[in-house]
Structure 1
Amino acid sequence: MFQVTITSNTDRDLYMGKMTGDTFMQRFEQQLAHQSGIHHWIIALSGGLDSMVLLELASRCLPAEQLTVLHINHQLQREAGEWQLFCARQAELRGLAFHAERVCLQPGSVETAARNARYEVFEQVSSRNTCVLLAHHRDDQAETLLFRLFRGAGVRGMAAMPRQRALGEGLLFRPLLDISRNELAEWAQEEGLCWVEDPSNRDLQYDRNFLRQQVLPLLAGRWSGVSARLQTAAGHLADAEALLEEFAQSDLQNCLAENSLQVDKLQLLSERRQANLLRYWCRCAGVQLTAAQLDSLRTLMTVAGDRQPELILGDRIIRRYRNRLFIEAMMSCPPWSALLVDVLAAPERYPGGRLLLKTESAASPDLWLAGVSVRNRREGDRCHPSGRPGKSLKHLFQEAGVPPWQRDHWPVCVRGDEIVAVPGICICQSWCEAENKPPFWLDWQPAALFAGSDSGTL
């Protein structure tokens, strides 16, 4: 059986009627007061001491109809099912909605896999005006700083856990981050709370357990209040990281061309600012650059200008073309074979980018769109851009600076066998009536251009 620590009975009356002058409660309420616009709160409940304190505080401070208790079952221990039942019972005692998610862990480090699985669930349940509450406390913050320090992390890593951050369209918030585990334990005992004890927390093969049980007590014996000092250091590092990010955002604006980086402008920066910008740019695309990858990226910037080098980073790829760096997801795009009206009606179905119709006219586009379909380019394709001589598509792509790897999936609009438009590049004479062009324009935004300006319009 799993262990449950109980200091008194669990009658419903136990959870009601605390004095408003309770200092511990006031500290928690002050944390929540900084959050505005939250319509729903999700309490991440493992059943352990820390999360049970979080559950109790939230249930006293927030309306029950705005709360959901979320338990993530990692299925790592034989008692996992009983822990889930325990958490469901605790939510029921407080009259709160309960939701459980079972997760399967990926191979590799159990600690890392479990964390990744938890945060995937948090992302899934998060929505606009929703806040996920986590029970991390000051000692957890100290462990995180040391853990990342021993792994050779930089400023961003050693800033440890932020008090809050965006989570999808919602928010993730850690309201107990200034409170020590001893304070949580004392309050839980005074309030007669119960909780489960996970036996794996004593297993020293896990790095965090080793830090918690061996390293931090040793440090605390030498320097009193070491967890608070480490938390202060993490705060200083967080400030430094915020400043580095401000520099990166400023440099990005100076070096950005749509959603690519201009290599010549990058090379005007100092090496440190180059590295800071490249890390930030990649992080925005979901890539955490290692030191070796950063060196490879700098090499890619310096190869001969007539080459088109690339660097693969997991499921992302960085390419250089015409003195610009592009970062994109590696994906296989299905061929175009659809009516234009169907593509415009469901742009999210096409992973390679977005085809959009834009208009400033009240005229209906329906007659113009009738019979027009979308296909991929073909060898030898030519068209007659309105007001210009006929050209090959290859020539038009080169003129527009379209990178070679984007051309094969660029949409080509045709009526029968005749090209009527190349979205984002030109409208053809065959789609015009005398001197009248369609009362709209088509814009193709490849996936790599989403964060930048339009790719060019008709």
Structure 2
Amino acid sequence: MNPFNIDLSARLLLNLKPWRNAPAWHIAFSGGLDSTVLLHLLAQLAKTESLPALSAIHVHHGLQAVADAWPDHCQSVCGALGVPLHVVRVQVQPGASLERAARDARYAAFSEVTQADEVLLTAQHRDDQAETLLFRLLRGAGVRGLSGMPRQRPLGKGHLLRPMLDVTRAELEAYASEHKLSWIEDPSNQDRQFSRNYLRHQVFPALTARWPQALVTMARSAAHLSEAQGLLDDLAQIDLSQANTPSDFDWLGLPSLDLAPLEKLSAARQRNALSHWLEPLTRLPDSDHWSGWVDLRDATGDARPIWRLADGQLHRAGGRIWWLSGAWLRAVPAPGAWLEPAQPLVLPDNGVLTLSGQIPAGILQIRYREGGEVMALPGRGHRDLKRLLNETAVPQFVRGRLPLLYKGEQLLAVANLPGLDGKAQGDWHLHWQPPGEDQGLS
């Protein structure tokens, strides 16, 4: 092995030094040049270094007939190197961008495989970083997007690492040539209708012919922008600390913020803070869609504004903004009779209900609000449920799915609301565990 490749191995080992104590390293192995070199480097290092357990993951998208042979190729390579291989077959959801849909399916599979504190290693390199920067620039990305691919980020229960972002494609090709490695040439990589392929085959050759150091300087710009994004994240944390206050409805388990501290910030700081808060919850809106935030923020007190985003909705209620997604956005069917009230009742798309203490005798039912409900309260007589909910300031988006306990036509209790949950009427308590967030991102 020449000194050029010794340097490549040493750089890889240095970049992975903080992660040497991880339970396992998984290698995202497409079978292409980049991941083949990464796999080979790690397999060789494992012979002389004490590394976490290595394994490879090949995601089969099923988008091309030729791809059906790739798992066998990957198995052959892994078998020769003594690295276990896990093949995951995924369904790519149809949509406007096939590239994006395939990427989403791939990373969902990686997230499933990566367990607590384990590491997934991907083989993106410096050329990929430059392509990402230019691609996002052409799409009008902000500082976050232009900071490029991060070297590390959370993935499922573990971490995703890109240890070769300081390595060029030319270095990988030289390594593969010296070690006589074989790899898959994906025919779709030549299809220039895909934006990244067009940049790679049409734009970058012209750029580097005129400016040979273009890839290096673009990667350097991405690093500068990444540092700037870190400062913006610090500012967002400061601003969010003022808005991330307790609520009387924290038991809903929903992310929420106090609106008043946000309203005191400049428009730019509001967008920065909200982008930081929303980033793990949903794909962030582009510039044109931030008008939805203005409408939500400036709505009158009796309005019920909603800002619809890619993976959920922001609602405004009780001086706060609330993030709803998953089951919270699906209609809930009427539960009906509670035949075994001593046992928890699973409510379709609406969490779990329990009744503790001295359970009322007779046939009990669970219903949801339809309007016009009346409840008898000790010392207060009969009261409209709507007025009682107003008194307790229950957010509007909760009211239609708040479980109501009935005996015949008598409303006995409203889950979780002090004074209405059964304790005042008898020695029992109606408790509702709302549905959890299931947006499936981050």
> Under a length normalisation based on structure 1, what TM-score does the superposition of the two structures give?
0.80
Shift of 1:281: 3.2
Shift of 1:321: 3.0
Q: Could you list the per-position Cα deviations for residues 125-181 of structure 1 after superposition, in whole angstroms to 9, with x for gaps in the alignment?
A: 222122211110111111100110011111111111111111111211111111111
Distance in 1, Cα, partners of 2:421 & 2:140: 61
Residues 253 and 413 of structure 1, relative CA distance in 2, 3 Å threshold? farther
**Equivalent of residue 81 in structure 1, options 60, 68, 71:** 68
Is contact 1:138-1:181 (8 Å) kept? yes
Is contact 1:374-1:412 (8 Å) kept? yes
Secondary structure of 1:196's partner?
A: coil
Unaligned 5+ runs, structure 2: 248-254
Shift of 1:406: 1.5
**Greater CA drift, 400-409 or 314-323:** 314-323
Is contact 1:384-1:391 (8 Å) kept? yes
Unaligned 5+ runs, structure 1: 1-16, 358-364, 451-458
**Equivalent of residue 126 in structure 1, options 95, 106, 114:** 114
**Equivalent of residue 60 in structure 1, options 44, 58, 79:** 44
Q: CA RMSD in A?
A: 3.3
Distance in 1, Cα, partners of 2:217 & 2:134: 12
Distance in 1, Cα, partners of 2:82 & 2:107: 26
Q: Could you list the per-position Cα deviations for residues 326-359 of structure 1 after superposition, in whole angstroms to 9, with x for gaps in the alignment?
A: 3312222233344555437x6xx653456589xx
Aligned-partner residue type, residue 149 of structure 2 = M
**Greater CA drift, 396-405 or 371-380:** 371-380
Aligned-partner residue type, residue 166 of structure 2 = D
Counterpart of 1:103 in structure 2 is: 90
Residues 334-349 of structure 1: matches in 2 within 5 Å? 334-337=333-336, 338=338, 339=340, 341-343=342-344
Distance in 1, Cα, partners of 2:52 & 2:312: 42
**Equivalent of residue 351 in structure 1, options 349, 352, 355:** 349
Whether 1:27 aligns to 2:27 is no
Whether 1:397 aligns to 2:395 is no
Whether 1:45 aligns to 2:29 is yes
Identity of aligned residues (%): 35
Counterpart of 1:407 in structure 2 is: 399
**Equivalent of residue 418 in structure 2, options 401, 413, 426:** 426
Shift of 1:56: 0.9
Shift of 1:210: 2.0
**Greater CA drift, 403-412 or 97-106:** 97-106
**Equivalent of residue 272 in structure 2, options 276, 280, 297:** 276
Residues 396 and 284 of structure 1, relative CA distance in 2, 3 Å threshold? farther
Shift of 1:432: 6.2
Is contact 1:287-1:316 (8 Å) kept? no
Residues 386 and 50 of structure 1, relative CA distance in 2, 3 Å threshold? farther
Aligned-partner residue type, residue 162 of structure 1 = P
Shift of 1:110: 2.7
Counterpart of 1:455 in structure 2 is: none
Is contact 2:126-2:219 (8 Å) kept? yes
Shift of 1:92: 1.3
Distance in 2, Cα, partners of 1:447 & 1:268: 31
Distance in 2, Cα, partners of 1:119 & 1:304: 41
Shift of 1:443: 5.7
Residues 144 and 24 of structure 1, relative CA distance in 2, 3 Å threshold? same
Secondary structure of 1:317's partner?
A: strand
Counterpart of 1:149 in structure 2 is: 137
Aligned-partner residue type, residue 71 of structure 2 = Q
> What is the number of equivalent residue pairs in this alignment?
419
Shift of 1:203: 2.8
Counterpart of 2:250 in structure 1 is: none
Secondary structure of 1:197's partner?
A: coil
Is contact 1:384-1:428 (8 Å) kept? no
